[in-house]
Structure 1
Amino acid sequence: MTNYAALLSILLLASGCNAADQTSAGQAKPGAAPATAAAPTKCTSEPCGNTASGEDPQEVALRKANQARDALAASGTDQQRWVFPLFSDTTDPARLQMDVVKAAGFKMRLLPQKGHLVFERPGAVDTFEIAPKELKESTCPQYGVSVIAAGASYALIKKNCPLTEYKPNRYAMTSEYYLYDANSAVMRSVWAAHSGSKDEKFPAAKPAPTIKKVADGYQFSWAGIWPNDPAQKKVEIRNKYSWKANKAGKTELLCTDLTAPKDEALENEMCEGGILPLVSSVRK
């Protein structure tokens, strides 16, 4: 395990996340968000961990993980930064944003109080509604947003919602992947799995989906067993997302199922998935 992945495991443990829900890309099932303590926190349990300062061992681990995250944010590779999700219950503004592709000036920022996810590039800012502003009745009151793959003008994003009892004896867990395309200012859901039982495993995509940029858009691929499927039937998704101008002249991102006959492939059931509401799109 690489050093940054090991430190992510420390961060997950300290923030209440389950490391069993990690993939090889380091995508975390979100839990309590990291926060930097203003002063050392003394142990509240007996016996206390053997730390020189008498701090809670979890606080020590969390501080080290945050230091590693900050170091990677300053000088790490893009892929190393992607390991650390943005958590919706984080209060430190610095940990609610990241450089997605640093050389291109491509940044991502989460605004949990508004439920917005913002993508910024030189001369362009696109803002999407990734969660409802009012979360009291939501099945996903806390979530984490991760970058899985990206280029200068696109990103494959994952949103994880941990197990939540949103009503008495009513449970939900979700994992959803979105494709953000700067050219069309569109963010489409491209893979999603849900669970309504606290006894099921987290509905993670194993293996993680892949995205490839092509001349007229993107090719999305995934092959695996659908999470918690009792039949254990293998599913293959091969979709192409292409740019096309509509009658108004606006660029759209249309889906074609590459496994279907040509006359049945455009926006069929394999392409189902919501398009996130675009709050604003600014071009300077």
Structure 2
Amino acid sequence: MTPLGTAVTAGTERAWIEFRRGFTNATDLGFYVVMSVVVFAILWFNRDTVVQVPGYELPSATYALPSFVGGLIAFLSVLGVAYALAMEREDGTLLRAKSLPHGMTGYVVGQVLRTTLETIAGLTLALVPAMLFIDGILVDGVGGLVWLPAILVLGLLATLPIGVVIGAVVRSVRQVNTWGSLPLFALIWASGIFVPTIALPQWARVVGQLFPVYWLGLGTRAVLLPDEAAALEIGGSWRPGWTVAVLVAWAVAGVLVAVPILKRMAARESGSAIAERRERALQRTY
């Protein structure tokens, strides 16, 4: 096997080991359990309210569930990569990967695959129980069965590079909250994940459409909601062509931006840089 193939295989094996270890760790598993309970509780308490569509009443929980799919993909993919990258830069894992032949390639493969596995597992734990009591969720025919995984894959490809960029530019794990979590929550709100897009202020609609989270949520709603629900969207349409185009554009742009930033960040890594970060951490502690 070539050195590149060995690096990719090592990255794949590392992703599976870390994924399996995470779901046998009480702390990590507890996070997914709490997230599942929160999602279920929100949908449960809104089970009797409705969203008014012209000539149609759509249960609020039915409308919210597909949006939550898009929101959770963005949340888990962006922050999963950002936190992992920031932590492993601090503890020297990234420096060790850099020292190996094609080590950064294997490292990126491992991070992307691990985050993808964790995102799929998190979605399953959070949303499958909720779907058992929510009516009106449907996948329309063979086209829907193809469209839904395509949107989910495009959503992951469009959002993962954002997490890479955040993890590469922050100086510590703590800064991921400042430059990752808070802006992401604001963006999720502006993307119509929690309320119908047409109920948002005009400026929020404009901002939301600039980022992939909105289009990811729109794509999942287009597959899982009845056609009448399109009246709640901007322009009264699901805009499938725009959805695919924007997500593909974000995926391509993300790779073009994230790869050079990650390489530049890795090039600056050294033993002295790690020692300096540890010294700063000790000073904050004491």
Structure with greater strand share of residues: 1
Structure with greater helix share of residues: 2
Determine which structure has greater relative contact order: mean sequence separation of CA pairs < 8 Å that are 6+ residues apart, divided by chain length. 2
TM over 0.5: no
Report the TM-score when normalising by structure 2: 0.23
Report the TM-score when normalising by structure 1: 0.23
